[in-house]
Amino acid sequence: MRKYFLLIIVSCLPSGFIAAQSIGDTLNALHYNIHLQNVNTNSKTISGYTEINFVTRIEGLFQVPLNLESLTVDSVIVDGLQHFFNQAEKTMHILFANPLAMNDTITATIYYHGQPFHEDWGGYHFSGDYTFNLGVGFVSIPHNLGKTWFPCVDDFTDRATYDVYTTLENGLMATSGGLLTETIDNGDGTTTWHWQMVHEIPTYLVSVATGDYVLYSDTYPGMEDTIPIGIFSRPADTGKVAGTFVNLHSIMDFFESHFGPYPFEKIGYTSTAIGAME
């Protein structure tokens, strides 16, 4: 009798409610345009917006859940119109008056601001005039921490492509994964750095770092192509870069000989105050 009664209760719940418990089962993110419009090292806050293109995985969805931790949502735009939303703890929901069908493709833009979360290791960190994110935490459960700086489907299996736009005062630099496609002089004393990642990766691997960096450039003669190397360090550390990475070419030789041609467009490193992510 108990099993029968419990089955009736679960089967009566709306599909959108059940799916909201597992965000990755509800929708698949295809692409993120992440815009960090203000990075304030004095107040240790960020603000901006993220445009997410996603496809629904279930039928009859009235609310779209996304992960976002310690940042406040200001507004949500879908198809040019403002949408109602709610936010609690580490999750926000975009609310729809009419149910979404399975395999609907939606583009939502979420504006947000606040002081990002970080633990001793993972999260979005401020270190003097520098900022950076580390996508995995040791204390946080679950461990993935993409949600500390942009709204997302923050699990280890959902993969998407990314464009990261970071606006900073002139003289500062933003680094990220992928390739730097453009720098935009905004004419107001700021520059926007646009990095693009065409390979699908999970949210915890998306990176950004800001500050007064100097670029050390090199190339690696790979099995199929010459691969650019970019190593970003603080000005005081530039003299240490060549010696620190003296074995990089031989390491790449080892990897290519065992695993095949390097599949990405560049080899890149950015110096941070406490560590790094792969």
The CA distance from 196 to 89, in Å, is: 30
Residue with tokens 């992440």: 34
Greater confidence (252 vs 24) lies with 252
With a threshold of 0.95, does the pTM exceed it?
no
In this prediction, residue 106 carries a pLDDT of 96
pLDDT at 234: 96
How far is it, in rounded angstroms, from Cα 63 to Cα 141?
A: 24
In the 3-class helix/strand/coil scheme, how is 175-226 assigned residue by residue?
EECCEEEEEEECCCCEEEEEEEEEEEECHHHCCEEEECCEEEEEEEECCCCE
- Give the tens place of pLDDT for each residue, 163-204: 999 999 999 999 999 999 999 999 999 999 999 999 999 999
> Which is nearest to 114 in space by CA: 79, 69, 156?
69
pLDDT tens per residue across span 89-132 = 899 999 999 999 999 999 999 999 999 999 999 999 999 999 99
Considering the domain 29-127+136-207 in this protein, what is its CATH number? 2.60.40.1730
Give me the residue spans of the domains in the chain. Answer: 29-127+136-207, 216-270
Q: What is the pLDDT of residue 177?
A: 94
Beta strands in 102-159 (DSSP E): 105-114, 123-127, 130-134
Q: How confident is the model at residue 278 (pLDDT cuts 50, 70, 90)?
A: low
Cβ count within 10 A of residue 261 = 11
Q: What would the mean pLDDT of 57-70 be, rounded to a whole number?
A: 96
Please give the Cα distance from 135 to 208 (Å, whole number).
Answer: 10
Amino acid at 152: C
pLDDT at 18: 36
pLDDT tier, 16 (very low <50, low <70, confident <90, very high otherwise): very low
Q: What is residue 101's DSSP assignment?
A: P
- Could you read off the pLDDT of 17-44 as tens digits, one per residue? 433 357 989 999 999 999 999 999 999 9
Q: How many Å apart are CA 172 and CA 181, to the nearest integer? A: 17
pLDDT of res. 79:
87
